[in-house]
Amino acid sequence: MAMIISQANSMRFRKVNSDLPNFDNTLTANEKFYNDKIETYCQRWNTSDVVTVEIKSDSATVPTIVAVSDDNTTASIIVVGATYKTRYDTAGGTNYNLWFFEFQLTMSSYLTETFVTVTQGAEVYKSEPFYGDIEIDEELSNGETLKLEYSNNDNAFQIDFSTLITYTLYIKSIIKDYESGGEISVYDNQDEIEKLKETSKRVFSLKTLPVPRYLAETLKLASSMDNMVINDVAFVREDQPEISPIDGNNFVEFSMKVSDKEYLGVNTHDIGFDCDNVVISDEMQILSKDGATGAEVLVVLAGYLVHTLRANWVSGTPAIKLGTTVGGDELVYEFPMSASIVNITVAIHGDINRAAPANIYLTVTGGVADIDIQTIKNIQ
């Protein structure tokens, strides 16, 4: 495996090697397409941002990180904590074979074009150019640029999200073309039609100006994650995005349909489901903790498995995890919530104890949330 800097990071890195040119080892400015104009691109962040980059490796050696400015001055960057951020034994023991490192870039220190190199042993990665731009705040306020924040509830995309990392992108784009979305079910009773169910939601189209191919790929990965917030509103992408090449150069146009994460309304009472009350049957048990904060203990019935955890933000910036031990995260890695991330559902499928009731341990720090944990029967 060696060292990997995931494309899901908000800053793109390419691997420096002697392979023939390909997508993974070529910076945008060095792309070559016969008879096409090669556009360059310098990625921007707000000067108030601190951009975090995560590195995955099978080596405990601390990477060497150097920032190089456009005047060729250099600055060394130390990984967070001067050592690994997290480490794992993929076999479940203490013979660690997987390490994650993180480093941070304070954008107010990079007001001119800069790139970063990351070295671990013989492995080298180099970033696309970037800088901190004081104009972004004005562009956000006049609708010229959108701010996109994203994270995942569990580890994926070669990223350890248990570190509570959240990424940020600024894209010259618009979100418009409002549509009404949702589903309707009706029953035709011959002499009358009765509505059984309807959901209502907002659907928008996000469209960018021409962007590099790598940035379109990062946008696709960002919108694949559990939590995507655009200009402080949570959205979900339900269909594949469209990435269209532009004739004559190396850029593309990116567009996707996004739905407001929260329904405008749900009407399902006529099919036997009351949205405002907890439903319990012989096959399912709901464990609820309204206003959860600190440490909570819940009991799972014998023969039931933990199926999902639903969290609703109440106040603060709660970080939530669920385990089979006090303060543990064996069932759900810690994930963050805030006023812009107000609802999160995590699938678990954790088989606890088929023979006797068992405790599970909920931990909420930094804020308050309402928690519903669904368990389902796992034995006949």
* Interatomic CA distance for residues 355 and 317, integer angstroms: 37
Q: What is the per-residue pLDDT for 268? A: 60
CATH number for the domain including 338? 2.60.120
For residue 255, the model assigns a pLDDT of 94
Q: Is residue 179 part of a domain?
A: no
**Report field, pTM of the whole predicted structure over 0.75:** no
Using 70 as the pLDDT threshold, list the residues of the chain that sit under it: 1, 189-190, 196, 266-283, 349-351, 353-354, 379-380
pLDDT of the residue at 274: 41
Structural domain ending residue among the three candidates 133, 168, 196: 133
Q: What total of structural domains would you count in the chain?
A: 2
Q: Which pLDDT value is given to residue 273?
A: 42
In a domain, 116, yes or no: yes
* C-alpha to C-alpha distance for 348 and 345, rounded to whole angstroms: 10
Cβ(239)–Cβ(179) below 8 Å: no
Whole-number pLDDT of residue 271? 45
Strands (E) located in 18-138: 43-46, 50-57, 64-69, 74-77, 86-88, 98-106, 114-120, 123-127, 130-133
Closest CA to 374 of 295, 299, 308: 308
Residue ending a domain, choose from 92, 115, 133: 133
Tokens of 343: 């609802």
| pLDDT value, residue 32 | 87
Q: Say how many CA atoms lie within 13 Å of 24 toward its Cβ.
A: 9
Residue 266 lies in a domain: no
Residue 292 within any structural domain of the chain: yes
d(CA 341, CA 235): 10
Separation CA 107–CA 45 (nearest Å): 7
- Whether residue 274 is contained in a domain is answered as no
What is the rounded CA–CA span in Å between residue 370 and residue 289?
Answer: 6
Last residue of a domain, one of 114, 133, 152: 133
Digit-coded pLDDT (tens) for 132-185: 999 999 999 999 999 999 998 878 889 998 888 999 999 999 888 777 777 777
Does a structural domain hold residue 320?
Answer: yes
Give the domain CATH number at 68. 2.60.40
Tell me, yes or no, whether 64 lies in a domain. Answer: yes
Beta strands in 145-283 (DSSP E): 146-151, 167-171, 173-181, 184-188, 193-208, 211-212, 227-230, 233-237, 242-245, 251-260, 265-267
Whether 58 is in a domain gets the answer yes
User: Of 41, 251, 48, whose CA–CA distance to 129 is shortest?
Assistant: 41
Q: What residues make up the domain containing 358? A: 279-377
